[in-house]
Structures are given as C-alpha cells and as structure tokens.
C-alpha cells in the first residue's frame, strides 16, 4: 500500500527532471501528500505537462465520487481483472511525481512510520493510472491511483507492499500510446533496493493535517 508520500522539490527541479511545464504558477512543498488532495501527475493525455489530479481514482462510469476513497492504490497483479483499472491500464497511464513516500512498520500494537527515498534524494515517478469523471453539474474531475507491487529487500521488513517506482528509462514507455497492456505489466516491478534508503520519522505524519518539514526529519 502507498497512502502518503512527499514532494518537496522546487518547481524548476520537477520541470528539469521530467522535461515538462507545471500547470500551476507555483508548487507548494508537500511533506504529507494524502488521498483526496490534488497533486501533480504527468499523463499520457499530455506528457509535456504536470497537471493537478485528485488522488483516489474515480472511474468514468462511477455514480459517486466517493469510490475514489477506496481506489488510492491498484495492485499490479490484478489490474487486468478489475473493471476499475483495466481500461485505464490500456489507455490512461500516468507518472505520479514524488521524492519520497511513507510506510508504517508494525511493532506489536504500535506502528512506526518510515520515509523511503532514493539514496540520492532525487525525484522519481510512481506508476499510476488516471481517469476522467463528470459530476452531476457536468464538471470534469481527473483523478489517479498509484500502482503497488511486492516489496523489495529494503521494504519487506517494513511492509508487504510497495509502490511501483518506474526506472527513469521506462517512464517514456509507460506514457507511450502504443504500449500493450501485457508490456505495461512487465514494467511494474519492485525498484532496486540498493538504490533506496529508509529511515524512521515522527508519528506526526500519521495525521494528514500535519504538513511541515519536521515530518521528513530523521528520528
């Protein structure tokens, strides 16, 4: 599962890393990105733009936007089996921009949060799916989900799932219009553990109301 992540890099760093323009005039650092928030993604609809989509996929056929609260993640192993994700895998894929994510390790009756990043603390992209839904007023809502997979050797002692971090060389292919679903699935592998690091952080991250630099500090 991936229920929180961070994006604290500057707008110019994002634009340089992904060769895109950012939709908003300014990007505010997010030390605790949470479901239901609008967050920057790069979709195959417009791969030169980082646009703000709502976290929590609302399929185009949904009767109620509340379904998005249950679809913040999509398991890589069952994407072709789930009506909520099958069509998006075929034609609506996206890169979810991040520079870290949180996961909670169970210690008896308590849970200790960890922040996981690349060792160079650089930007990366989660593999994501998106969709477009219209509310009763006819307004369009674009939303996304983050794909998860089995843990690598770094993550397995913390949690039994991890978000799919795409290799930089696979990001363009993930957004490609001619990518077949079976080939897309081949890109959804655990990231190289040797290129990642994890450290304990404050339990203040447990509340999405908290969003400040203290959350990403080492304990």
Which residues form the catalytic set? 2, 103
Distance of CA 91 to the CA centre of its chain: 18
List, in order, residues 6 or more apart from 94 with CB less than 8 Å away: 41, 42, 43, 44, 53, 128, 129, 130, 144, 175
d(CA 33, CA 197): 19
Neighbours of 72 (CB within 10 A): 21
> What is d(CA 219, CA 214) in angstroms, rounded to the nearest whole number?
10
Q: How far is Cα 95 from Cα 41, in angstroms, rounded to an integer?
A: 6
């Amino acid at each position: 599962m991936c229920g929180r992540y961070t994006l604290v890099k500057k707008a110019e760093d994002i634009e340089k890393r992904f060769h895109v323009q950012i939709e908003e005039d300014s990007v505010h650092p997010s030390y605790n990105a949470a479901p239901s928030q609008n967050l920057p993604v790069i979709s195959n609809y417009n791969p030169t733009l980082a646009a703000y989509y709502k976290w929590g996929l609302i399929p185009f056929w949904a009767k109620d936007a509340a379904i998005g609260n249950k679809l913040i993640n999509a398991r890589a192993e069952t994407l072709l089996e789930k009506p909520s994700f099958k069509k998006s895998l075929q034609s609506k894929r996206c890169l979810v921009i991040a520079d870290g994510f949180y996961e909670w390790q169970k210690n008896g009756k308590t849970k200790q949060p960890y922040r996981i990043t690349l060792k160079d603390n650089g930007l990366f992209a989660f593999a994501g799916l998106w969709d477009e839904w219209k509310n009763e007023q006819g307004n369009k809502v674009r939303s996304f989900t983050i794909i998860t997979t089995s843990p690598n050797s770094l993550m397995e002692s913390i949690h039994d799932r991890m978000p799919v971090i795409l290799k930089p060389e696979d990001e363009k292919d993930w957004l490609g219009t001619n990518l077949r679903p079976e080939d897309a699935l081949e890109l959804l592998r655990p990231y190289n553990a040797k290129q990642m690091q994890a450290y304990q952080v404050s339990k203040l991250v447990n509340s999405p109301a908290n969003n400040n630099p203290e959350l990403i500090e080492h304990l």
